[in-house]
Structures are given as structure tokens and as C-alpha cells.
Structure 1
Amino acid sequence: MNRAKVVLISCLITLPLLAVAEVKLERVTYHSWPGSYRITNGIVEVIAVPRIGRIMVYRFLNGENVIWENPAWRGKLRSDAPKGVWANFGGDKVWPAPQTEWAKRMGRGWPPDEAFDGGDFSCETLPDGLLLISPVSPHYEARLIRELRLSPDTPRLMIKQRLEKRGPPMTNMIIWSVTQIRSPDLAVMPLNPRSRFPGGFKLLGGGDVEERYRYRSGDLLLIRRHPRKATKVGADSPAGWLASFHGDVLFIQRSNFHPKAKYPDGGCNVEIYTNPDPLKYVELELLSPIHRPKEGESFSFDISWQLYKLPNIPQNDVERVRIVRKITK
């Protein structure tokens, strides 16, 4: 037998033994929400719940969910909320406009738009993920389309987002991704060395707090959840990412920054909110530039998520800063 045939036979024997990475999709009932979907690649899993328009789970297989879920709202729907009360399911969702303009369009400053936040989304399966489509908001005459695509061989989740204007009137709109996460060991926001804000960031709620809950480390703002006080900060960050540490897991969300675009809240494209006890969660928020789409127009704002398994649990913030700098450089 010649050498070429030996090599060919060897290859044919070896190929079936190689693990082929792939994304698997499974329709499940999750916490009494039927029609939910589990997406996994053997490394991480994502669970989306179209009935409430949310991503509710993102974790390593057999690991702890980095997303915060509200046990009081498991299996419930937005319609179960009394009038004027936010259906706080937890999870990840999108808001369609700067909060300063909600009252103008909805006649109220809170709770959020009921189509985007808690609406019953339609969905279509994809080879590597899921397409989620919101109802049309009666306040904005717009709908959201989110395309979730999981990498076949890494923990990376791509989220393509498009807002479609379906009718009048023209109004300021954004794609504002809001992810409620379990209270982290530390949340990190990169700052702009040429920021328009004094100190590199803007206080959006809660005022000043003790240094252990918020302080700078060079061009990074380090944030912890305050147990007795709601706090919120934003920044005009060219880096466009936010991070959180959960034991030996690092969670990073990424987006693109457009320096010439107009952003909400005086120019913020990244924001972090911390909630006081007893609901122990933090929000990582990525914001698109402000758009004024006409009927029939649309705009997009794509983001990505990634989990990193660390070799051990960082013992202090010096270690955490070193790790996040290395990964995001």
C-alpha cells in the first residue's frame, strides 16, 4: 500500500473521532413559561422567554446564571402587574427611548413601554439561535427585532438589534439594552480620558456614595451595589464595554461607540444602575445613539456578550483590574 493511501485511511479513521462544535436549540417550558428556548453549544447555555420578551439565562453549563431573576415573577406575565406597577421579571430586555421623554409619549414616566418590556414576542428559530420580534408599541408605533446567535465553539453570544418604525409620529428613539445581573463582586465601566463629564462620568441617580461602592482606578470606574441606596452612573466611553465579576466568572458586554453621534442622558453610551436590598441586582446598560426614524425606516445597534472562566477567584480589586485590562486591551 502506498503512502498516500495510508494517509487517506488514517484521516478517515480519525475524522469521526473529532468533536464537531455545534449549536443546539430546544423548546422548553422555563419556570412555567411555555414556548421558551434553550440555546447551547456545549460550553454555555442561553434561555430566552418570548412570552415576556427576555433573555433570562446566560451561564456556563452547570454554572450559575449571571443574569438576575426575580422569583416573585416566575411564570407570570406582564398582564399580572397592577396598573402603574413594573413587571420586574429580571432578565435582559430593550427600552426604545430616552427615559426623559417617556412621559411625552406614554403619558407616564414609569413603568417602561409594555410592548418592548414584557410584551409577548413572536419568534423564529435559526440554525445557531433565535429571532425575537416584539409587538408594535402603541406609544411609539415601532417594534424591536432581536437576533440571538451563539458561537458554535466559544461562550460568545451575538445580539443583533433593529428597531423598525411602523407609523407616525417622528420622535427620539434609541435601542437601550438593559441587563439585570446578580449582584456582582465588582462591576467595571471604562472611562473616556477626554470625557465631557467632570471626573469622567455622570451621576444619574443616588448622588455620592462611600468610596468602597464607587471609585476610579485609572481609566476604569469600579462599582459595587449599595445595600441601602439606588445609584446610577453613565459615561461617554469610546471603549463601549461593561464588565462584571461573579466569583471565577467574568461577564463582558460590548458595543460600538460613534463619537460624532448624539447619545441620551447628556452623552452616555454606557450606564450602570445598582439596586438596594432586598432585590439584589445591578443593571448593565448599553445605549445606542439617538435616532428620529420616519415611518418605514429602521436603525440597528448590535452588541455581544461573553463569559470568561477565570483560573481562580480574584482576591481583590487589583487582580480584577489586571484581568479586565488584559482581556479588553
Structure 2
Amino acid sequence: MVWLDNGILRLGFLPAAGGRLLSVVLRGQETLWRNSALLDAALHPVSGQRIEPHDGPMSAWSNYGGDKTWPAPQGWSGPGEWAGPPDPVLDSGPYRWETRRDPSGAAVITLTSADDPRSGLRIEREFTVSPGESAYRVRLVATNTGAEPVRWALWNVTQRAAGDPGGGGVWVGVDPADPRTVELAVGTGAPTYDLAGAGVIAVPHQDVVGKLGFPTASGWLAHAAGGSTTTQVVEVDPAGEYPDEGSRVEVWMEYPLDHPLPHLDDLQPSSRIVEVEVLGPLVDLAPGEATELTFRCATARGESPVRAVAEAGHWSAVTPHGTGGVTASFHAYVDGVLLLADDEQILGETRAGEPTELVVSRALLGRPVVVREHVTARNVPAGRLPQEEPA
């Protein structure tokens, strides 16, 4: 195991298991799902298990959990589709790794796969953890190391423990004029969803094995369960061609079944899991060429419905307050002072990884906000105070 720790977040990597990020701990609270049948609490193999490359049908997959990167599209019908997991190189093979500290004080780890003869790719995963933040940044690179042109998209998959039906779930920012979804990899069914406001789709926890894709995703998603919310923000390419019927973001849900699913290669889920997935566009790569995808992942306590995600934190839906104003909850990723951006009116103090409850006048809703960091005095964008939603 390799660990990066800034005193707020502690990230644990297992390079031997496909370069996985297997632990993200926020002040003592684990936020990723990992498979306790394969790994113990210290992230060591349990008795009788070995971490080694493996292949075969999906029923043979050693799903360790955590966060990993694969090529897309997934499929088993030809060489232009990635026939995994399992996969002996990109998913379960050992990754080389190195760490460094950059001039800002951030800790950086780079994990690099072997050259994969099936896809023609080598995948590099770089994680950066900066001081004072409950967030980290990810840079993914896929390089064509083969002798022939290939066409792939980068696909990052993060597994978190799901809650029981009726609480929490996933929120995805979408084009408010076109909030489409597509059904993908239906096991027992496709997850149901609701419009949670202008430009936000909510996918509640539910008993289903299946996936939704979001072709008009605006670039952010959030998952709330187990007392915390994890968000991811990725830049989307409006002109890009994305795999899986144009999906820029995908959400997979599963729950324990007492029987395998023959049409999914005998997959038989044993846990409640949510996968939040971000994708890059499909890119034609000549030998030696590379494609890159970057995104930021952040975590804060609380499970309130998410309405917007910014660099400094995420906002929950506002609710009426007895004073005639509204209550707004801001879940911060940096320490500082929350200010109105235009006149610097102070709204409250923030602590990285923690929520700040505000009671504000309705006249302030929709105005831009920043967090002025305590250490650097930098103004970090915090979006806008959310508007009230129709009753």
C-alpha cells in the first residue's frame, strides 16, 4: 500500500491491483467501498486470497472495490470494445508507481500500467492531494503503445457503498433544456430517476442492478451515503463523441442477489454498491499518441440533496426558515470565510470536509459566492447561493 495524507484526507493505493485507489478517509471516516471478502481493514489480502493478474468471465472478477480506470467502450463483440473486467493488465495487473512533492506542497502519486496488447494502451493515473483541502485531482492518460491506430475513450469508475432504498443517492448535473438519460447494462432493470430541479437529475438508492448514462451531463455528479457526500467535476466536450450512446457520466447500482445473471456473464452481486463514472470522448490514436482526462474529486460530511458543485464546495437544496429567510447548507472543501463575491458580505466560516449552515435573506439567492482561504487569502469560487425550488 502507498498512502498520501494531508491531515484531512488520507488516500490509500494498491499498485499491484490495477493501480487502484482503495481508500479515501475523511478525518477517520472511509468514503470508498472495498470488498471485505478479498481485503481486510488494512487493505491486505484476506487468508486464502492473492492479488495477481486474472482473466475470464465477469463471474471470475476479483472486484477489490475503490477507484480504477479502464478504456471504453466496454463490450465483447470485437476488438474495438474492451472485454473486461476482468482483465489481466489494465484492471488487475501491477502498476509501476512513484511519488513526489510539487513546489506548492502537494503530494503526487503516478501509477502506470504495463502495455496492454489487447487494447494497445498504456494507462497512467496521477493523483494530487494539496494541503488544506478535502479534495484531490486526478489526471488520466492513455497512450497507444501498439503498432496500429486505435480508438478509445478514458473511463474512470469509483465505487462507494450504497445506502438502503429511501435515503441518499446520486445527483447529476445535466442540460436543463435536455435532461436525457439512456439505459445501459441492464441487469435486473434500469435505475429509476427524478428531476430534482433545473438541470439536476436524482437517482435514489434502490434495489436494482443496472446502469444509466447521461448524454447531456454538465460535468458534475455527487453521491451521498454513509454520512458523507463525494462529488466529481469533469470538463465535458460539447463537440466530442462519447461512448455508450453519448454518455459523459454514468451511474451503476447493484444490490445482493441470490442468483447469477446469465446475460451479464453470470455476475452475482453480493453488496450494495454505487459506481459513479466519468468518461472522456472517443479519440483516434495513432501509434505513440495519447488522450487525457482530468477531474477533481471532493468529499464532505452530510447527505443532503445536492444542487450545485463548485471548486470550494457543494450546495444542498435551500429550505424555508421561520425568520422569513431560507436555510442554505454549504459543504466546504477548503478552510476559510464564505463571502458574497460582489460586496464581500460575510456569510459564515468554512472548514474543509464539513457543512456550514446559513440562514440568509431570499434577496441574496442567486448571488455569486467565494471562500477566502485562511492561509493563502485566495478567493476560491463557490458558485451561487441556490435558488428556491417550486413547491
TM-score (norm 2): 0.66
Q: Is the CA contact 2:228–2:299 (under 8 Å) kept in the aligned structure 1?
A: yes
Q: What's the counterpart of residue 51 of structure 1?
A: 16
- Secondary structure of 2:78's aligned partner: helix
Q: What's the counterpart of residue 5 of structure 1?
A: none
Q: Is the CA contact 2:121–2:145 (under 8 Å) kept in the aligned structure 1?
A: yes
For the residues of structure 2 that align with 1:276 and 1:182, how far apart are their CA atoms? 10
Q: Is the CA contact 1:51–1:77 (under 8 Å) kept in the aligned structure 2?
A: no
Q: What's the counterpart of residue 236 of structure 1?
A: 215
Q: Is the CA contact 2:251–2:274 (under 8 Å) kept in the aligned structure 1?
A: yes
The Cα of 1:193 is off from its aligned counterpart by: 2.6
For the residues of structure 2 that align with 1:66 and 1:156, how far apart are their CA atoms? 12
Deviations 1:103-137 (A, max 9, x none): 41289844343311121001011111211001111
- Secondary structure of 2:271's aligned partner: coil
Q: What's the counterpart of residue 21 of structure 1?
A: none
Q: What's the counterpart of residue 67 of structure 2?
A: 92
Which of the numbers 290, 293, 299 marks the counterpart of 2:291? Answer: 299
For the residues of structure 2 that align with 1:122 and 1:272, how far apart are their CA atoms? 29
Q: What's the counterpart of residue 204 of structure 2?
A: 224
The Cα of 1:208 is off from its aligned counterpart by: 6.2
Q: Is the CA contact 1:225–1:275 (under 8 Å) kept in the aligned structure 2?
A: no
Q: What's the counterpart of residue 345 of structure 2?
A: none
Counterpart amino acid of residue 148 in structure 1: F
Identity of aligned residues (%): 23
Deviates more, 1:218-227 or 1:40-49: 218-227
Q: Does 1:202 align with 2:182?
A: yes
Q: What are the ranges of 5 or more consecutive residues in structure 1 without an aligned counterpart?
A: 1-35
Which of the numbers 150, 170, 182 marks the counterpart of 1:187? Answer: 170
Which of the numbers 130, 133, 142 marks the counterpart of 1:163? Answer: 142
Q: Does 1:124 align with 2:103?
A: no
Deviates more, 1:103-112 or 1:182-191: 103-112
Which of the numbers 18, 32, 36 marks the counterpart of 1:71? Answer: 36
Q: Is the CA contact 2:109–2:126 (under 8 Å) kept in the aligned structure 1?
A: yes
Q: Is the CA contact 2:144–2:285 (under 8 Å) kept in the aligned structure 1?
A: yes
Deviations 1:54-113 (A, max 9, x none): 0001121211x221101122214454757322121111101112014x541289844343
Counterpart amino acid of residue 305 in structure 1: C
Q: What's the counterpart of residue 177 of structure 1?
A: 156
Deviations 1:170-222 (A, max 9, x none): 22211100011111422111222343xxx521121438668xx5222122221
Q: What are the ranges of 5 or more consecutive residues in structure 2 without an aligned counterpart?
A: 40-44, 102-106, 257-269, 308-314, 319-328, 332-365, 367-381, 385-391
- Secondary structure of 1:200's aligned partner: coil
Q: What's the counterpart of residue 127 of structure 2?
A: 148
Q: What's the counterpart of residue 12 of structure 1?
A: none
Q: Is the CA contact 2:54–2:88 (under 8 Å) kept in the aligned structure 1?
A: no
- Secondary structure of 1:302's aligned partner: strand
Which is bigger in relative contact order (C-alpha 8 A, separation at least 6)?
1
- Secondary structure of 2:16's aligned partner: helix
For the residues of structure 2 that align with 1:186 and 1:56, how far apart are their CA atoms? 21
TM-score (norm 1): 0.78
For the residues of structure 2 that align with 1:265 and 1:233, how far apart are their CA atoms? 10
- Secondary structure of 1:299's aligned partner: strand
Q: What's the counterpart of residue 105 of structure 1?
A: 79
For the residues of structure 2 that align with 1:324 and 1:231, how far apart are their CA atoms? 31
Q: Is the CA contact 1:116–1:137 (under 8 Å) kept in the aligned structure 2?
A: yes
Deviations 1:143-170 (A, max 9, x none): 1111111011111101111111111322
Q: Is the CA contact 1:97–1:172 (under 8 Å) kept in the aligned structure 2?
A: no
Q: What's the counterpart of residue 26 of structure 1?
A: none
Q: Is the CA contact 2:220–2:234 (under 8 Å) kept in the aligned structure 1?
A: yes
Q: Is the CA contact 2:190–2:212 (under 8 Å) kept in the aligned structure 1?
A: no
Q: Larger helix proportion, structure 1 or 2?
A: 1
Counterpart amino acid of residue 48 in structure 1: F
**Count, aligned residues:** 283
Alignment of 1:285-296 (within 5 A): 285-296=277-288
- Secondary structure of 1:119's aligned partner: coil
Which of the numbers 256, 262, 269 marks the counterpart of 2:241? Answer: 262
- Secondary structure of 2:206's aligned partner: coil
Q: What's the counterpart of residue 28 of structure 1?
A: none
For the residues of structure 1 that align with 2:37 and 2:83, how far apart are their CA atoms? 24
For the residues of structure 2 that align with 1:235 and 1:126, how far apart are their CA atoms? 36
Alpha-carbon RMSD across the aligned residues, in angstroms, is 2.7
